[in-house]
Structure 1
Amino acid sequence: NNFVLRCEMDRTKLATGKAVSEEYTHGGFNWIATSEKSGDSANFAVRCVSDHKGPWKCEIEVGMHVLQPIGYFAFLSQEDHVFDENNFNKVVDFHYSWSSVEYHADIPNHKFAIEFRIRIIRTEKMEAEPGMFAAPNNRSDVILKIGEKRLHVSREFLAVHSPVFETLFFGDFAEKGKEEVEIKDVVYEEFLDLLHLIYLGPMEFTDRSVTHILKLGDQFQMERVLKQAEKYLTKTTGLDEMKKLIFADQYRLGSLRDHCLDSFTTLTQLTNKIKSSPDFALLSDAMKAAICERVAKLA
């Protein structure tokens, strides 16, 4: 998830006051960096663009380094930034004096160059696209209708992953043998995320998507999906521990429950969390008992 964009300015470009890096594709996004004269300064910007049709987000850490006459890049500054579908231009909060740019560009066999060393921290594409499910293919034999939208899938493949679908497609139900089956009580975009997960393998969960993946994994009794979501929840720092305990309680995720309780290393830390969280009342008696056991161990 690390890559470099470089802007270079020789004597020819110096006259225009502008420099642009080559466009670079990384992490599913298109990247470009620019440098432009503004008064007595050179302003720098990074641009992130996605072809994704729905909402998206990309959080980065960007460090800026300038080429020195002796041949190495010296560190200038570093900062974090979040791009999304409404905010894809970032004017970096660093201004380099234009006289310094001219100085570098005028040195024989040298040029002004700045590198943007970028690390992608996390990304979210908040709405999966139909892709392989939009039209019939050599592996599809049934249409799932969700609202007014349709998805082309394989009965057998879904049945392997879900006893609910196995019963629906191969049990003694009216849906057996139908070319089109209506799926109720699901959100199209959320169900599409589920299909991408089971068809294409491990997906990059987000704090947003894990909520509906858990719900659907439980609804369709997909144990492997629940385990993948549980693994993500043990690692993410974006969700409160009490929220994770609610997930563990609701979806019977024992490893997540133990992980969350073990994260409280002092009695004060745990009791303060309980007192400050309105979600504590939502927990089952069994989960409250597990918390009490942890309190006793820390006492």
Structure 2
Amino acid sequence: MSAAGKKYDNKDTDLVPEVKRLKSSFEKQDISLVVGGKRLYINKAELMEKSPVFKTMFTADFKEKNALEIQLPDKDLHHFLMFLRCTLDGYDDSINDLNVHFIIPIAHEYQVKQTLDKADLFLSNHYVNRNLGGNACKDIVNGIIEAEKYDLTQTLNTLIDFASRKKFAYISQASDFNAISKRVLHKISMARWQKDIDGNTGKQCTASNGSYEVRN
């Protein structure tokens, strides 16, 4: 049979998951997202696979179910493009210092767990690599607020540890300190207590011989 007359199998039932995933970026682009007045042509099936929000939008009884164009008027084009290129298959864009804080809110809104987890891991490592002394109190406080808001578990745990080792007199003066939830403040206090951190010095309460100091 000539190439022109050959029939092709479009069901992909014979493909292993990884090959099927990579091939998805080359499928028919059957829907457009209008962001910042510009059309972005996307494969609906891939978008549904990545985002439960889009899956519901396209399968439940919403006006978008059979639409060929979806308007997203409140989204920033640059930020949304960074999100898509770090989320959709076929792109090699990585999460970095320049895009992570723009990607996180969008990934959280559309419940794209894979992208949110990557951002969470990146941020956690970012803070760890700077060490305790390299993270100012205001950065720790702002990071905690962001991690709480967007459910960044690894980042939150890292910053709770750092906050527990900062002097209370300093960290409590950070401008948004009072925006930290009572639940997280409790975790910071418990971490400080469990590690015997002195709130005045930010250091462990140890005597000169290396044993723990008992304080009345």
Give the corresponding residue for 1:295: 192
Whole-Å separation in 1 of the counterparts to 2:147 and 2:105? 12
Does the aligned pair in 1 maintain the 2:35–2:71 contact within 8 Å? yes
Give the corresponding residue for 1:194: 83
Q: Which runs of 5+ in 1 are unaligned?
A: 1-136
Superimposed CA distance per residue, residues 132-181 of structure 1 (whole angstroms, 9 cap, x where no aligned partner): xxxxx743100111231110001110111111100111211111121111
Corresponding residue to 1:234 among 107, 111, 124: 124
SS in 2 for 1:248: helix
Give the corresponding residue for 2:158: 259
For 1:249, the aligned partner's letter is E
Alignment of 1:1-299 (within 5 A): 138-199=27-88, 200=90, 203-236=93-126, 237=130, 240-263=139-162, 266=165, 269-297=166-194, 298-299=197-198
Alpha-carbon offset, residue 275 of structure 1 = 2.5
Large movers: runs of 4+ above 6 Å: none
SS in 2 for 1:177: coil
Whole-Å separation in 2 of the counterparts to 1:219 and 1:203? 20
Structure with the higher fraction of residues in helix conformation: 2
Superimposed CA distance per residue, residues 114-141 of structure 1 (whole angstroms, 9 cap, x where no aligned partner): xxxxxxxxxxxxxxxxxxxxxxx74310
For 1:252, the aligned partner's letter is D
For 1:167, the aligned partner's letter is T
Percent identity for Structure 1 against Structure 2: 25
Whole-Å separation in 1 of the counterparts to 2:167 and 2:92? 33
Q: What's the TM-score once normalised by structure 1's chain length?
A: 0.49
Whole-Å separation in 2 of the counterparts to 1:203 and 1:295? 39
SS in 1 for 2:176: helix
SS in 1 for 2:172: helix
Does the aligned pair in 1 maintain the 2:33–2:42 contact within 8 Å? yes
SS in 1 for 2:73: coil
Does the aligned pair in 2 maintain the 1:270–1:295 contact within 8 Å? no
Whole-Å separation in 2 of the counterparts to 1:283 and 1:210? 21
Alpha-carbon offset, residue 264 of structure 1 = 5.1
